[in-house]
Amino acid sequence: MVFSKWGGRPHWECDTLALGADEHGRWLGLPSGTLVTRPGAAFSADVPQVVLLPDSAYVATFYAPGGSSPCETYVDISTVPLEDDGRITAVDLDLDVIRGWTGRVWVDDEDEFADHRVRFGYPEEVVELAVTSCEQVRRAVAASQAPFDGTTARRWLEVLEGAMMA
Distance CA(133)–CA(135), nearest Å, equals 6
Full-model pTM: 0.95
DSSP 67: S
The pLDDT tens digits for 85-127 are 889 999 999 999 999 999 999 999 999 999 999 999 999 999 9
Tell me the pLDDT tens digit for each residue of 20-43. 999 999 999 999 999 999 999 999
Residue 85 CB burial class (10 angstroms; 0-12, 13-18, ≥19): exposed
H or E element: which one contains 77?
strand 71-78
When the pLDDT of each residue in the chain is averaged and rounded to a whole number, the result is 95
pLDDT band, very low/low/confident/very high, at 164 (cuts 50, 70, 90) = confident
Calpha distance 156→62 (Å, rounded): 9
- pLDDT surpasses 90 at 146: yes
What is the C-alpha to C-alpha distance for residues 55 and 46, in angstroms, rounded to an integer?
28
> By the 8 A CB rule, do 89 and 4 touch?
yes
- Rounded CA-CA distance 164/99 in Å is 26
* 32 contacts 47 by C-beta, under 8 angstroms: yes
